[in-house]
Each structure stands twice: as C-alpha cells, then as structure tokens.
Amino acid sequence: MDEFWVFGYGSLMWNPGFPFEERTDARAFGFRRSLCVWSHVHRGTPEKPGLVLGLDRGGSCRGVAFRVSVDNREDVLDYLRRRELVTNVYKERILPVSLANQRQVRAVGYVVDRNHIQYAGALGIEHAAEIVRGSVGQSGPNDAYVFNTLEHLKEMGIRDLWLEGVGASVAAALQAAD
C-alpha cells in the first residue's frame, strides 16, 4: 500500500489523536452516520444506556480522510484499534472513499457490527431523542455528546438531517422542562 488513509465520521474528524500529513473532506459510500451504538460506559450505563455514533450501512457519509505517513501506519493502526475496538462493536474495514478533489482512495474506517449486543439498530428521531435525554455516563450527559457533535459538524459545513432532528427534539424537550 503506497498510501495510508483513515476515514473519520465522528469525533475522529475533530479529534484524531494521531499524526497525519493531510486532512481533507471525504465521503464514504454505502454507509451513513447514525446514533446506533448503545453506550454502556461513556454516555450511559448498562442499566440506562445512551447512544453514540456508528457508521452503519446504507447511503453515504460525509466525513474527513487523513493521509498518514506510511512510516506511521502501524503506530496509527495500533492507536485506532485501542480507541475504536474496545468492546468490538465496530469492525475495522477498508472503505472506498471519495476525497474532496474527487480522487478515489481506500481508507481504514470503523463500521458498526450489526450482530453486536451494543448495536441499537435504526431508531426513529423521537425514540433516539428520548434515550439521549435521559442518559449519562462517565464522560457526561448523552445530550452534551449529541450537541457537541452537531456543533462540530456545523463548523465543518456538514449537514446530517436525522442527527439534527434528534438534537432539535432533545433541545425542545429540555426547553419545555425549564
């Protein structure tokens, strides 16, 4: 492999945590960003799980591709595996990715395992919002995770209408409760 690319669709986009030589907008086809992973630690508990992002099949997903020096390939893979494969809810895959300049590359990405117990599946906006509103984990409230994600996506010029709908529903319920 002459080049090594990594595709990020969630926090990897704004907090990669590894050295890279190039960062560019990108799109992965055949997958979409989704709040489809039960969080039992960071944004929820086993008794009251929260929801975090996964790359699920269907559609396409705007994100970021990072070109990493081939010399750093193994170190970056080790880091990503420690970060993304903690509970094995994600599978490491090589994804076809279209860069901002229309160039096609293959990038390492982490796709949700639909057979894993933490896979929440396709939830409706209101159902997802209800879960997000009531969940808190070691890293804080689930709603803060969703709002932070939406803010970063907005800064990057990325629209995610379904996730925006979840955020709007959560915000409306919080406002109504005040």
Are the C-beta atoms of 167 and 147 separated by less than 8 Å? yes
pLDDT in tens, the chain (178 residues): 589 999 999 989 989 999 999 999 999 999 999 999 999 988 999 999 999 999 999 999 999 999 999 999 999 999 999 999 989 999 999 999 999 999 999 999 999 999 999 999 999 999 999 999 989 999 999 999 999 999 999 999 999 999 999 999 999 998 888 7
pTM score, whole prediction: 0.89
53 burial level (CB within 10 Å; 0-12, 13-18, 19+):
buried
Residue 82: Cβ within 10 Å count: 10
Helix boundaries (H) for 11-156: 73-84, 125-133, 142-155
| Predicted pLDDT at 1 | 54
Q: What are the chain's domains?
A: 4-177 (3.10.490.10)
Angle at 56 between CA 52 and CA 62, to 5 degrees: 85
| Predicted pLDDT at 146 | 96
